[in-house]
């Protein structure tokens, strides 16, 4: 049977920490909790479960905090959890069986992260595989009888264990601030972060967040290394930001760039155009773009189609 260190980073999680730990404590051989600046009873609750509670001075990087928590682990594997997760009885049994029978060559175990849509998170799916269990120290071995080489790719096992995500609130303001600080510090956002920033803004961004994002996305469309998907995301966000700002020429500049891109377009930009015509008001043009939104694919927010359906229903009600 393998041994597992639970590694968590927390801040002001007094409402959910005990719930999380109660659901996994007996599956863990070691519990490590790194606090990044709690002002509530989080650390007191953590000490009921472990003496290994550490402080980490927050520097704006979740990666640095995660790495610090991992550095304190001593078991064969590390399980990474957030305080707003739980594992139910059925999946606890699956986890216990996994712990008993995990093959030593497995480097990473993926588990299903569930319940995303219920809490209006930035993810357009309710269930996805995520890496959750990591071998603490990897053994490198040579392979091939000739032209031998060291195997560098991790061996990943996709389990059927489901982790239930049950947050008590939203982290949008915190996350948007982190994105804004990354841009201000000149840090590069890769394809994944580019998409996540765009999703946060479309789903949760206030006018101030959108206006602050303009320099980033205008820089993004000038970056020749960006993919077409990233360009489309940038056009969508710039169109919305300039619509909120009241700069209609710039709004149409980026909306039309999105509309004329190769492919099927996107529902988000169609809804932006419908929203603009709604304010004129021009009901015929609004209807055209709402219908277009219903047939175009969503790239950032599945709720776009729901919004379009509601606006169409209102138009029909008004006659």
pLDDT at 175 over 90: no
Strand partners, 142: 150
CATH at residue 124: 3.90.550.10
Do 248 and 313 lie in one domain? The reply is no
- pLDDT reading at 126 higher than 90: no
pLDDT at site 203: 87
Whether residue 272 sits in one domain with residue 197: no
Q: Which residues pair with 61 in a beta bridge?
A: none
Q: Are residues 54 and 152 in the same domain?
A: yes
Does residue 120 have a pLDDT over 50?
Answer: no
267 and 255 within one domain: no
Strand boundaries in 117-212, DSSP class E: 127-135, 142-143, 149-150, 156-165
Strands 127-135 and 77-80: antiparallel
Residue 240's domain spans which residues? 171-259
Between helix 172-184 and helix 207-222 the angle, nearest 10°, is 40
Number of domains in the chain: 3
Report yes or no on whether pTM surpasses 0.75: no
* 222 and 244 belong to one structural domain: yes
Q: Which of 130, 165, 200 lies at the terminal end of a domain, its last residue?
A: 165
Tens of pLDDT, residue by residue over 215-250, are: 999 999 999 999 999 999 999 999 999 999 999 999
Q: Could you tell me whether strands 108-114 and 156-165 are parallel, antiparallel, or unpaired per DSSP bridges?
A: parallel
Of the chain, the percentage scoring pLDDT greater than 90 comes to 76
Q: What is the mean pLDDT of the chain?
A: 91
Q: 149 with 26, same domain?
A: yes
């Amino acid at each position: 049977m393998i041994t597992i260190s639970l590694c968590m980073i927390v801040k002001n999680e007094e409402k959910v920490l005990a719930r999380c730990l109660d659901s996994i404590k007996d599956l863990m051989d070691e519990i490590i909790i790194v606090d990044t600046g709690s002002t509530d009873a989080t650390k007191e609750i953590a000490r009921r479960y472990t003496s290994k509670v550490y402080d980490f001075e927050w520097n704006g990087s979740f990666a640095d905090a995660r790495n610090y928590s991992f550095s304190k682990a001593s078991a064969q594997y590390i399980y990474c959890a957030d305080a707003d997760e739980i594992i139910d009885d059925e999946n606890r049994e699956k986890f216990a069986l996994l712990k008993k029978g995990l093959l030593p060559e497995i480097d990473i175990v993926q588990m299903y992260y569930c319940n995303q849509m219920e809490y209006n998170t930035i993810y357009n799916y309710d269930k996805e595989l995520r890496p959750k269990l990591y071998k603490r120290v990897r053994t490198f071995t040579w392979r091939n009888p000739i032209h031998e080489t060291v195997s560098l790719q991790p061996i990943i096992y996709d389990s059927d264990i489901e982790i239930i995500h049950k947050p008590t609130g939203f982290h949008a303001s915190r996350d948007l601030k982190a994105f804004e600080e990354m841009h201000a510090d000149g840090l590069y956002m890769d394809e994944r972060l580019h998409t996540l920033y765009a999703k946060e803004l479309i789903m949760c961004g206030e006018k101030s967040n959108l206006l602050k994002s303009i320099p980033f996305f205008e820089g993004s469309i000038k970056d020749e290394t960006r993919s077409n998907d990233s360009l489309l995301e940038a056009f969508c966000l710039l169109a919305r930001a300039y619509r909120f700002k009241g700069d209609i020429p710039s709004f149409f500049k980026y909306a039309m760039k999105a509309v004329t891109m190769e492919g099927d377009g996107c529902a988000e930009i169609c809804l932006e155009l419908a929203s603009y015509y709604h304010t004129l008001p021009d009901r015929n043009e609004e209807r055209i773009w709402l219908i277009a939104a219903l047939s175009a694919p969503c790239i950032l927010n599945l709720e776009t189609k729901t919004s379009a359906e509601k606006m169409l229903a209102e138009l029909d009600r008004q006659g």
